[in-house]
Amino acid sequence: MIDIRAARNDPDAWRAALARKGATEAFDALLDADRDWLALVPLVDELRSRTKLKGRPTPEQIEELKAVKAELGRAEEELAAAAGRRDELLALVPNPPEPAVPGGGEDDAVELRRVGERPTFPFEPRDHLELARIDMERGARLSGSRFAYRMGGFALAELALYRFALDHVAARGFTPVIPPVLVREAAMYGTGFLPTDEVNIYSLERDELYLTGTSEVALAALHMGEIIERADLPLRYAGYSTCFRREAGAAGKDTRGMFRVHQFDKVEMFVFCPPERSPQEHELLLAVEEEIVRELGIPYRVVDIAAGDLGAAAARKYDIEAWFPSQGRYREITSTSNTTDFQARRLEARFRSERGIQPLHTLNGTAATARALLSVLENFQDEDGVVHVPEVLQRHGAPATISARA
């Protein structure tokens, strides 16, 4: 959630920033609700103070107390209603983008750089379904569309990728974590996926649990409700988990293969740090992501995501897009966001500083998903449909070659 006091004190600047995410309506509604609430607080406080007496009251005082309490009851009801409206809107207003974020929407990401040589093939490049044992038909028979059986050398290569990514980030000071993937509502709300992204979340109503779409949820909630000592910061984690996404609204998009599936695995980095440090940590996350992609040898580019495409929690986001020869374009394989204090406020994840207790900043970034491996398949294929697996993955247990037969 946003810092309502800061917004109250400088509404025009906040409105202008939020306009870039198309959220002025929610913001103005919030300011109204906040004003209503704010007007009631001193009233209720005053009535409450009149109900407080030292020692045993006289019978006359008791009569008077009863009158005050009746009035207080009505005022408290009003206050609770106002607080309810205010909190509801507070949950809906997104994190404003940083000033440096490019304007516009999905198509307005700004390319920051291109790295690596794109391969040229004297043949028609195959896509991942033709290069590895990935069985979508039987996956669909088992579980529906967008589910894959990953088999043979590809399965081993996937595990090698995750192990490589974990080893790499561990060497960079991130603590490896295997987190729960079923979480309570508080964690989904605290990370900002609820209420905004509800349609994309699998829920187990009978048990009141949600399946996480990324280990970001479990990692962010790791310090929910805690007050961290400044000396212990920054805290850097890397979660390995299966991720579940309903992909509502993606109908007809990326329907071939396992490019976009309901269930996939991911190594995700997550950082808690003091506010002044978060831009620097964001650069670190991007740097680590690039290191991994470069070690794999995939040609890629880095894009700075535009304000309108940021999502509720992110104030800034960089994606790495890998080259996919069969599609003839760059596609997202990692994403790193600075969510500033937006998640930390909701989660009540705070730290003790010289200036008192204040919300932390949180950041997340993809270390590796199977999508990176799909790009590896396509970029390292030969004319016979055989993929020559990068050495770094072989070191972590992948076979030297992968094909549709093995």
Partner RNA sequence: GGCGGGGUGGCCGAGCGGUCGAAAGCAGCGGUCUUGAAAACCGCAAGGCGCUCGAAAGGCGUCUCGUGGGUUCGAAUCCCACCCCCGCCGCCA
CA 3 – CA 126 distance, rounded (Å): 50
Residue from 385, 359, 362, 306 nearest 103 by CA: 306
Residue with Cβ nearer RNA (319 or 341): 341
Closest distance of CB 187 from RNA, Å: 12
Residue from 254, 243, 247 nearest 218 by CA: 243
Residue with Cβ nearer RNA (51 or 255): 51
Q: What's the CA dihedral at 32, 97, 88, 227 to 10 degrees?
A: -120
Residue with tokens 């190594």: 267
CA 376 – CA 230 distance, rounded (Å): 41
CB 219 within 8 A of CB 270: yes
Furthest CA-CA distance within the chain: 100
Closest distance of CB 70 from RNA, Å: 11
Token pair in block for residue 339: 């969510």
Residue with Cβ nearer RNA (11 or 308): 11
Residue from 281, 288, 282, 271 nearest 237 by CA: 271
Residues tagged active-site: 245, 260, 332, 335, 371
Distances (CA, A) of 66 to 4, 51, 72: 36, 9, 10
- Residue 360 makes CB contacts below 8 A (sequence gap 6+) with 223, 228, 233, 272, 273, 274, 275, 341, 344, 349, 350, 351
Residue with Cβ nearer RNA (21 or 350): 350
Closest distance of CB 347 from RNA, Å: 13
Residue with Cβ nearer RNA (208 or 384): 208
Closest distance of CB 224 from RNA, Å: 12
CA 149 – CA 142 distance, rounded (Å): 10
| Amino acid identity at 114 | R
Closest distance of CB 322 from RNA, Å: 38
Residue with Cβ nearer RNA (2 or 293): 2
CB 225 within 8 A of CB 215: no
- Which residues contribute to the site for RNA (CB under 7 A)? 4-5, 38, 41-42, 44-46, 48-49, 51-53, 55-57, 62, 65-66, 69, 80, 208, 226-227, 350, 356-357
Closest distance of CB 52 from RNA, Å: 5
